[in-house]
Amino acid sequence: MATLPRAVLPLVLAGVGAGAPVVAQHDAARSATPLSQDDRMAWWREARFGMFVHWGLYAIPAGAWNGNTDYGEWIRTSAQIPLATYERFQQQWNPVGFDADAWARMAAAAGMKYVVITSKHHDGFCLWDSAQTDWDVGGTPSGRDILRELSDACRRYGIRFCTYHSIMDWHHPDYLPRRGWETDRPTAGADFDRFERYLHAQVTELVQRYRPAVMWFDGEWESTWNHERGLRLFELCRRLDPAMIVNNRVDVHRGGMQGFASSSEAVGDFQTPEQEIPATGVPGVDWESCMTMNRHWGWNQADTVWKSTEELLRNLIDIASKGGNYLLNVGPRADGTFPPLAVERLAQIGQWMSVNGEAIHGTAASVFDALPFGRCTVRAQGDTTRLYLHVFARPADGWLTLPGLGNEVVGAHLLASPERSLPVRRDGGDVRVALPDALPDPIATVVVVDVRGAPIVYRAPVIHAESTDFVHAVTATVASASPALVVRYTLDGSEPSPSSPRADGEIAIRSACTLRARAYHDGRPVTGIVEQAFAKVTPAPAVEVEASEPGLRRARFTSVDWNRIPGALPSPAAGDWETVPAIALGASPGEHVALWFDGYVDVPADDLYRFALASDDGSRLWIDGELVVDNDGLHAMVEKPGRKALARGLHALRVVWFNKTGGAELTLRWARPAQAFAAIPAAALRHDAQR
């Protein structure tokens, strides 16, 4: 969990009111320009919980095509449906069961504060009658303006109306690139600049007609979109509505499914992890995890893998405890109704939120790094702070421990039963709260702890070391989160005491040991003990081979459609290998391609070597047959570390890299202890010409 980002800012924690006044305040704010980031984001930080809606023509086949039942909103390209065939769905669009008020009512009852609907997904079909195209609801038998009906309903129920809009477009004749299988869509005459003007015109329509509180872009990862185009689109949104929020997918720097910007030049108001929750919060950064209820975003009739209400609620709590928002998806059926299990989950979430919503809405991230019993959210209340403890599992001894909490406790009670006080006691540097014999809510019982002032948490010291393994020696430091604390340590595994050595500088470690440390205030222990074991390792022996030729061998695979590097790689023929001086891509390698580098690295001395493998998309590094760095999977440029103790001499080295689509990058660096990373020199790379 995270420390408290902007925890004491009244704007963030006070937020704006619930219900219809929320919308009124937002509409009024549109004329108050220029707006600061905090002004625009205040309602969004207050909300914490929203509904995602993926709905379009792809709901009609319901995930099934030619015997395959695992498709979703990507069915047009995943099933390789010809354009003329897919266009027939437009005349089948007639959502007679669509009730915008029912959707908004379910969202509001579930405790959701905003709805984000797909105005246009990647197939290009629009849920409003756009003046820019006939590929929209205006050309269907129904003709209903879905966005108008839903935006009006959201305002009636005090819900913020927001739109998802895809940059990628598989229907527009000017959008590039085409899919490799699209033989029915020639690229002759396609003009991406003209498509960009079309995109801007549609975004202008959306903002001027429906006034969305958020423009949620997607589909920005293909090679035709770039930072300059993203910046132009972002600036257009700012001009159209200075109060509107824009996500980071307007730009090209979101860093894959992890969703956080990978460049300082990136624009966007919040970050967008997809189908995952960050391990910790990110102080000072707004973010939102979008996730499905089952396995698909769009309606799939065969998908029976639904998350339980417990999992969905605990996701919401986990995300709020880290200072983020939860955007939970529903994929409506073709008739416009929600799947029954989605309706059931929303109702059950709403039951919990009706009692405990105070512990989610308008809260900030936990002030504790981790709580074994569950999670914590925080709300500033004038001279006091309210800690909401979300208890997933009752500790065996019946006591909740709040490690290092330095504040005076005003009182504690169950949120569901405010009249029932809970016993509190101080135990050294910790505060402990007694639970009743049985928890009233099996998913998450919320315990309220009110304390004087802003939260003060004495955090345990943090041990830093380049590595926990070493060949000759390693240096460690122990850092305190507070300059008022004194850190004491031991190396023999014993418990630190007030007379143990102070951790004021570097600690040299030359033999295997366990470093233990604890923080003290005025001679009194105020944190728990942290420890780290260090091991002295024997370097892997060099291999006895004849590898006199400089450089590495490299084999190239084309027409690969990998999402990950396969466990059993195809074996290149002898004539497929070429000699290269280093691990590098050279000229543009293209898409749907993989490279295999093979040879030996000449290690200059016995030591622990650190490696850094960076790539877009996936890559892996093996040394002497052992996987040392795993940077596999589809992602933008990411660097992953690894280490291995190596003896002087030759060691077998293999790197496999692939690129599915988009950017292509690959670098490998190494470093000895206390040295900076650098490229492996060409003189250290060898291969056996006889292989």
pLDDT in tens, 355-413: 999 999 999 999 998 999 999 999 999 999 999 999 999 999 999 999 989 899 999 99
Residue 481 has pLDDT above 80, yes or no: no
pLDDT of residue 522: 85
**Diameter over CA atoms, the chain:** 83
Q: Which domains does the chain have, with CATH numbers?
A: 15-356 (3.20.20.80), 374-452 (2.60.40.1180), 462-536 (2.60.40.10), 549-687 (3.90.182.10)
Task: Please list the residues that pair with 468 across neighbouring strands.
Answer: none
Mean pLDDT of 9-16: 26
* Phi, psi (deg, nearest 5) at residue 5: -80, 125
Give a three-class secondary structure readout of 584-616: CCCCCCCCCEEEEEEEEEEECCCEEEEEEEEEE
Cα first-last separation, the chain: 51
Q: Determine which of 294-308, 318-332, 502-516, 569-583 has the lowest per-residue pLDDT on average.
A: 569-583
Residue 301 CB partners (closer than 8 Å, separation 6+): 62, 63, 64, 69
Residue 571: what pLDDT?
82
Average pLDDT over residues 134-141: 97
Q: What pLDDT does residue 691 have?
A: 62
**Number of CB atoms found within 10 A of residue 38's CB:** 12
Owner of token pair 């869509």: 185
Strand 445-452 to 384-391 pairing: antiparallel
213 and 116 Cβ atoms separated by less than 8 Å: no
pLDDT 10s digits, 62-121: 999 999 999 999 999 999 999 999 999 999 999 999 999 999 999 999 999 999 999 999
Whether 404 and 458 have beta carbons less than 8 Å apart is answered as yes
Q: What's the CA gap between 142 and 90, in Å, rounded? A: 10
- What is the rounded CA–CA span in Å between residue 641 and residue 612? 5
Rounded distance between C-alpha atoms, residue 12 and residue 481, angstroms? 25
Rounded Cα distance between 202 and 233, Å, is: 11
pLDDT digits (tens, 9 = 90+) for 454-463: 998 998 899 9
Structure tokens at 318: 């986990």
SS3 category, 103:
helix
Mean pLDDT of 260-280: 93
In angstroms, rounded to a whole number, what is the distance separating the alpha carbons of residues 568 and 12? 52
Q: For 592-614, what is the mean pLDDT? A: 96
- CA 616 to chain centroid, in Å, comes to 18
Residue 603 has pLDDT above 90, yes or no: yes
Q: What is the mean pLDDT of residues 327-347?
A: 98
Write out pLDDT tens, residues 416-425. Answer: 999 989 999 9
Residues facing residue 612 across a β-bridge: 641, 669
Q: For tokens 């991406």, what's the residue?
A: 192
Q: What is the CA radius of gyration of the chain?
A: 28
CA distance 185 to 194: 17
Helix (H) or strand (E) holding 628: strand 626-631
Mean pLDDT (whole number) for 566-579: 85
363: left (phi over 0), alpha (psi -120 to 50) or beta: beta
In percent, the amount of the chain with pLDDT more than 90 equals: 83
pLDDT for the residue numbered 483: 78
Count of Cβ atoms closer than 10 Å to residue 585 Cβ? 17
- Are β-strands 462-465 and 486-490 bridged in parallel, bridged antiparallel, or unpaired? unpaired
Average pLDDT value for residue range 442-446:
97
98 vs 69, 87, 95, 613, 671, CA distance in Å? 24, 22, 6, 50, 61
User: Using 50, 70 and 90 to split pLDDT, how confident is the model at 34?
Assistant: low
How far apart are the C-alpha atoms of 266 and 247, rounded to whole Å?
A: 11
Question: For the sheet containing 638-646, what is the strand order?
Answer: 638-646, 607-616, 665-671, 678-679
Pairing of β 374-381 and β 384-391: antiparallel
Q: Among 37, 48, 64, which Cα is nearest to 13's?
A: 48
Q: How far apart are CA 662 and CA 571, in angstroms?
A: 26
pLDDT reported for residue 26: 44
Q: If residue 387 lies in a helix (H) or strand (E), which one and from where to where? A: strand 384-391
Which pLDDT band, with edges at 50, 70 and 90, does 448 fall under? very high
Within 10 Å of residue 578's Cβ, how many Cβ atoms? Answer: 11
Distance CA 599, CA 601 (A): 7
* Residue 334 pLDDT greater than 50, yes or no: yes
Contact assessment for residue 163 and residue 210, using Cβ atoms and an 8 Å cutoff: yes
Asked whether residue 682 carries a pLDDT value surpassing 80, the answer given is yes
Distance of CA 151 to the CA centre of its chain: 28
Residue 15 pLDDT > 60:
no
Tell me the pLDDT band of 211, cut-offs 50, 70 and 90: very high
pLDDT confidence tier of residue 10, bands split at 50, 70 and 90: very low
Which helix H or strand E contains 481, and what residues bound it?
none
Give me the numbers of helices (H) and strands (E) for the chain, helices first please.
11, 35
Query: Which residues are 614's β-sheet partners?
Result: 639, 667
Report the C-alpha gap between 209 and 41 in whole angstroms: 22
Output the CA–CA distances (angstroms, integers) from residue 151 to 20, 41, 215, in the order listed: 13, 20, 14
Question: Which SS3 state, helix, strand or coil, does residue 181 take?
Answer: coil
| E runs forming strands in 194-338 | 214-218, 245-246, 288-291, 325-330
Cα separation of 391 and 370, whole Å? Answer: 13
Beta bridge partners of 655: 597, 621
Q: Which pLDDT belongs to residue 689?
A: 72
Q: Cα 316–365–377 angle (5° rounding)?
A: 65
Q: What ranges in 243-339 are assigned the alpha helix state H?
A: 309-321
Record the pTM.
0.75
Q: Residue 289 in contact with residue 257, Cβ under 8 Å?
A: no
- Smallest CA-to-CA distance from 10 within 299, 487, 376, 382 is with 382
How buried is residue 308: exposed, middle or buried, by Cβ count under 10 Å (0-12/13-18/19+)? exposed
Point out the least confidently predicted range of 11-15, 40-44, 623-627: 11-15
Is residue 617 reached through a cis peptide bond, with omega within 30 degrees of 0 on the bond before it?
yes
Tell me what the pLDDT averaged over the chain comes to.
92
Span 2-11, mean pLDDT? 31
